[in-house]
Chains A and B, each alone.
Chain A
Amino acid sequence: MSASMRLLVRRAIRLSDTNIQISAAARAAARAAARSSSCRCFSDAAEDRSTHFGFETVPETEKAKRVYKVFENVAQRYDIMNDAMSLGIHRVWKDMLLHAMHPQPGVRLLDVAGGTGDISFRFLEYVRSQQERQKRRAARSMQTPSWQDISNNYSTEDEDGPLESRAVVCDINKEMLKVGKQKADSMGISTGLSWVVGDAEELPFDDDQFDIYTIAFGIRNVTHIDQALQEALRVLKPGGRFMCLEFSKVTNPVLARLYDAYSFQMIPVLGEVIAGDWKSYQYLVESIRKFPDQEEFTGMIEDAGFYCVQYRNLTGGVVALHSGFKL
């Protein structure tokens, strides 16, 4: 089947799926009807549907545009702001994602909403250190080779070169990718990395392409999270792993109060002082509150078709690391 046909078929399936989801959501709306006034949220036409942009209500078509503008504005100062807001802890979270991933040399990674490339750089670094460790181990065990070993070595030399791991950074925002490319150039990383503009809800890749799919701090900005999850399922190889790092609900009530106070008082101020942009960081802290909690998100991942879905709370629930497999 040609790619365009596949796209049409996929769209048809998705429409029928959204119809099912509309009815499910209608039941949810009936429960929330006492609070909400805009019952037209769940009409059939897609243009009438509205969603949340932080604590604001916007039409779905507008959310993607506004999110694009937010990240376009913050792209230059994104990394500095991350360090300032999380006091550097975001590096620990990303390192923990890599440790949980434990990639072996030769795997293909798709880093969606990868933007400035933090995960991909760590991935390449990890894989390279793994490769070196393997080489060292092999060299250590081969200290006194027999003549047979040496001749075997010569015969297998050109067969398989070092297993090439590849990372693809995919982001909808060109500014973020630009910043990421500049970082890669300054770090001197040239091989094994590619930068692709793409929408998480409709990835520009074929089926069964990647071993690992990661999305770090990006999925809460997606308008249709379920579509992003289905796309993740599609592009992963059977046996592939889905990993998601995202802000989540803090379980400890004392920590929750402190975290809320810090988020709402401090972070927009930091945004104004460092990046000159209050509203983008106000959106950021509000969008964290609108994202489903750990259990609900686990349910969503399972609904998309992943197996062995688990999550792990980091920093008391401030961040949750979800993982699932395509079997």
Chain B
Amino acid sequence: MLFGLAVSDSCACVLAVKTMWQQHLAKPCLRLYQRQCALTSKAVRVHQLHSTSTGFTDRCYDDLYPGHIHTTPIQKALLAVGSGVAALQNPYRHDMVAVLGETTGHLALINLRDRMRNDPEGYAVLTERPRIRLSTLDLSKMASLPDGSFGREYLRFLEDNHVTPDSRADVKFVDNEELAYIMQRYREVHDLLHTLLGMPTNMLGEVAVKWFEAAQTGLPMCALGAVLGPLRLNARRLQSLFTSLGPWALQNGRRSRCILSIFYERRWEQSVEDLRQELNIEPPPITLSATNKKSTKKYE
């Protein structure tokens, strides 16, 4: 009789497991399997596209924008992992940071695009597609602007930190032309953000800007940089980051207007204070100096 009970118990167990499987796990597993099949078949189709083209047909890449490289989902995943590792090993490889941003930022870019579309100035940026490059900036006019104006301060920032707006890598792996522009705009606006926030390009300033951007855009690459950047700071800077700079950057990132929606090219004459107020950004709690990277920080 005990044996009969044990058998019936085990049968009940098996039945329970089976129903549980059917209810909770089978569908997701099936969906995962189907997705896997779809991915591999897509990869094979892409490859077949390559292998069936003979020497006499042109390459069938639809380059959505100059510099666009077509990638399969598997390649994007591999790129994300590889570029992450490479960027961690050598943070000076800006191209790897860029690739990481492109391959992981799809959802955040869509979110940004929707925010830009809902903002009238952002919509103007999306339609007119301005680019910030040395060739498009009128440097002499900007230099003649009064001190405290956005254009003059931006120029001062470029000179003090020895950077140029032309050093940004082009977007390669985003498969949508509009999203690629948004990514490119984000990269070009980064320097302007430094000016707006008053942060130099040393490690602490960069981390503060990254925290702001992570809160603003939600790009995984910014979040990763925000988390891993502080690892390279010494104790004193870490303290200032966590007590004053960090919370300030996060709060303002969350409440400020979308920084990509601003048509900066039309606002060179506007004063920095004015622009900050419009964007809902508080002035920085600490003034960081750009010239001496070692220590001189002025506390206000």
| Chain A residues at the B interface, C-beta cutoff of 8 Å | 32, 35-38, 41, 50-52, 54-57, 260-261, 264-266, 268-270, 272-274, 276, 278-279, 286, 289-290
Instruction: Give 15 CB contacts A-B under 8 Å.
Output: A35-B54, A41-B56, A51-B55, A55-B50, A57-B55, A260-B51, A261-B44, A261-B47, A264-B50, A269-B82, A272-B82, A272-B99, A273-B85, A289-B51, A290-B55
Does any Cβ of A come within 8 Å of B29's Cβ? no
With CB as the reference atom, state the residue of chain B lying closest to A290.
Answer: B55
Q: Which residue of B54, B83, B86 has the most chain A CB atoms within 10 A of its CB atom?
A: B54
The A interface, classified by DSSP as helix, strand, loop or mixed, is helix
Q: Which residues of B contact A289 (CB under 8 A)?
A: 50-51
| Chain B residues at the A interface, C-beta cutoff of 8 Å | 43-44, 46-47, 50-51, 53-59, 69, 72, 74-75, 78-79, 82-83, 85-86, 93, 95-96, 99, 172
The B interface, classified by DSSP as helix, strand, loop or mixed, is helix
Please determine whether B99 and A56 come into contact, CB atoms closer than 8 angstroms. Answer: no
Given contacts A260-B47, A265-B43, contact A273 B59 (CB under 8 A): no
A241 to chain B, nearest CB (A): 31
Please pick, from A50, A55, A266, A270, the residue contacting B53 in the complex, using a CB distance under 8 A.
A55
The CA of A272 and the CA of B78, in the complex, are separated in Å by: 11
Please determine whether A268 and B51 come into contact, CB atoms closer than 8 angstroms. Answer: no
Given contacts A32-B54, A278-B172, contact A264 B47 (CB under 8 A): yes
The CA of A272 and the CA of B96, in the complex, are separated in Å by: 9
Q: Which residues of A contact B56 (CB under 8 A)?
A: 32, 35-38, 41, 50, 57
Please determine whether A278 and B69 come into contact, CB atoms closer than 8 angstroms. Answer: yes
The CA of A323 and the CA of B156, in the complex, are separated in Å by: 66
The CA of A135 and the CA of B74, in the complex, are separated in Å by: 56
Given contacts A41-B56, A273-B86, contact A286 B75 (CB under 8 A): no
A29 to chain B, nearest CB (A): 9
Please determine whether B43 and A261 come into contact, CB atoms closer than 8 angstroms. Answer: yes
The CA of A36 and the CA of B96, in the complex, are separated in Å by: 40
B119 to chain A, nearest CB (A): 34
Please determine whether B96 and A273 come into contact, CB atoms closer than 8 angstroms. Answer: yes
B49 to chain A, nearest CB (A): 9
Q: Which residues of A contact B86 (CB under 8 A)?
A: 273-274
B173 to chain A, nearest CB (A): 9
B20 to chain A, nearest CB (A): 36
The CA of A35 and the CA of B86, in the complex, are separated in Å by: 43
Please determine whether B54 and A276 come into contact, CB atoms closer than 8 angstroms. Answer: no
The CA of A57 and the CA of B56, in the complex, are separated in Å by: 6
B17 to chain A, nearest CB (A): 35
Q: Which residues of B contact A264 (CB under 8 A)?
A: 43, 46-47, 50
Listed from nearest, the 8 A-B pairs whose CB atoms lie closest are: A52-B55, A36-B56, A273-B82, A269-B78, A56-B59, A55-B53, A264-B47, A265-B74
Please determine whether B82 and A270 come into contact, CB atoms closer than 8 angstroms. Answer: yes
Please determine whether B79 and A272 come into contact, CB atoms closer than 8 angstroms. Answer: yes
A274 to chain B, nearest CB (A): 8
The CA of A290 and the CA of B59, in the complex, are separated in Å by: 13
B44 to chain A, nearest CB (A): 8
